[in-house]
Each structure stands twice: as C-alpha cells, then as structure tokens.
Amino acid sequence: MSALLTFDNVWLEYGDKVVLERVNVAIVEHSFVSIVGPSGAGKSSFLRLALGQEAPSRGRILLDGKALPPECGPDRGVVFQRYSVFPHLTALRNVMFGQECANARFTARLFGAARRRAAEEAAAMLTEVGLGDSLDLYPAQLSGGMQQRLAIAQALMARPRVLLLDEPFGALDPGIRQDMHRLILRLWEEHGLTVLMVTHDITEAFKLGTRVLAFDKRRVDPHAPHRFGATAVYDLPLKTRLPLDTPETSVSITIDRISNNLKG
C-alpha cells in the first residue's frame, strides 16, 4: 500500500523556537493512527499541520502524492474537543452545511428538491451516529457526547480523505467515552476511513489505533529548552487492539526503549 499522507522531513519553527523537528511519517490508507505524548510535545501542532491550519517551516507534507496547500479544505475533516459544531444551526442543518456550501456557491443554501435530497442524506447520517431522534435540536440542547456525535456526522458528510480528531472524547464521561469508541471504530470500518487521533489517554490510543505515534523531544538543552523540537520518537504498528471494555486503570502499557513492544 502506498502512503496517503506523507510528512517528509517536516519542521515547524516560530522564530528560534523549534516545535517539531525532522518529522518523517507516512500514513497508509485505512489506518487509525493514535498520537500520544506529554503536553507541549507538538501533538496538536502535528495535527494542525495535517489540517493545513499551519504551514511547515521546512519539509513537505503530501496528500495523495500532492503537496498540501497551507489552508483547510474538504479533503480533510476534523473534530475538535469543543466548538466543532455551529450553535446557531439545528443538528440537521449542521450536517447539511457541507452540501449547501458545495452546491450553492453564492447563497450557501439549498431549496426545493436539492434541499430535500440533502436533508434526507443528512438525516441518514445522523441516524447512523445515533442522533436520528434529535434532528431539530440545537447543539445547546444536546449533551456533550451527542454534540461530538454530531460533529463526527458533520465531518463525515464531506467524505474526507483523512479524518483528524483532536482529543475528541477528552471532555466526556468514561461511560459515554466507551460508547463513542464503539461508534468511531464502527464508522472507521464501514466508511473505510483514515483517522489521525490526538489523545492524552494512552489506553484510548491502544484501544482504537492500528498504529501509535508517540511524540516527544529526543534531545533537551536545559539552558535553552526551546531550541530542540519534538518528533515521533516511537512508531508502533499494532497487531491487536486492547479490548474496548478495558478499564483505564487495569493495564500498564510499557514502551520499551529498544524493542518498542507492548505489554498488557
């Protein structure tokens, strides 16, 4: 399989502060990549680069073999921890938003038969994520978990090549989080998605991922800690996932410095 998304010697610098250095990662289609690492290790910066929200200061990022423009586009979908949905639109209109933008350049609104078709597709997608009964509710009337379901449905409607998740389940209760894990794995399977997920929850990373990237700094200069950037220090392809109902406290995951193995 050839790589879908390639980071080719990517650096991200602000002035003399180095955030990411020498990132070389190739992500193949239909993989589920979990990205873990301590705070400030550039996980979110990595995701922002993939999103096109920022441009690398050195190196290239290729999507389907073509250089990524430094701007977000419909080929990459995203779900953030919060504020991913539009508060002024109902669930249905939130999910229709992408189609309305694509098919009505000037008004960004559909009318008549086109609108009914878009509404039907959006309703089907909402039913698929379990929001079939909440089509006409505003985000403020939905719980945190339901809002994230909505954000996922909204992103999937645009049929992105890569789905980027930035700590999507970080603000949810443990029980709800497990439901969401089931949902995202099912969608990943059914839609043949390629997913990049940043998380601070290591168990979650090993439950969902087919591959885990750990970001950290390889070198630290104690007198100038900003001069060395972080990179993917571990890159673990996973053969088997942790079972979804693994309690968060019962496993110890050890990443061995030499053999990069995983112990349950």
Size, binding site for another protein by CB under 8 A: 37
**What x/- string results for residues 29 through 68 when contact with another protein is judged by CB under 8 A?**
----------------------x-x---------------
In the complex with another protein, the residue whose CB is nearer, 107 or 250, is: 107
**DSSP-assigned beta bridge partners for residue 6:** 26, 62
Q: Tell me: does residue 74 bind another protein (CB under 8 A).
A: yes
Q: Does 28 bind another protein (CB under 8 A)?
A: no
DSSP 45-114: HHHHHHHTSS--SEEEEEETTEEPPSS--TTEEEE-SSS-S-TTS-HHHHHHHHHHHHH-TTT----HHH
Choose between 98 and 209: whose C-beta lies nearer to another protein: 98
Per-residue tokens: 72: 């977000």
Q: How far is CA 91 from CA 28, 119, 148, 253, in A?
A: 32, 11, 11, 39
Q: Per DSSP, which regions of 161-219 are E strands?
A: 162-166, 195-198, 211-217
Please select the residue that binds another protein; options are 141, 143, 227, 256, rule is CB under 8 A. Answer: 141
**Interface pick for another protein out of 49, 85, 110, 214 (rule CB under 8 A):** 85
- Asked if 142 is part of the footprint of another protein (rule: CB under 8 A), the reply reads no
> Which of 215, 186, 205, 211 is closest to 248 using CA atoms?
205
Residues that bind another protein (CB under 8 A): 51, 53, 71-74, 76-78, 80, 82-89, 97-98, 100-102, 105-109, 138, 140-141, 151, 154-155, 157-158, 160
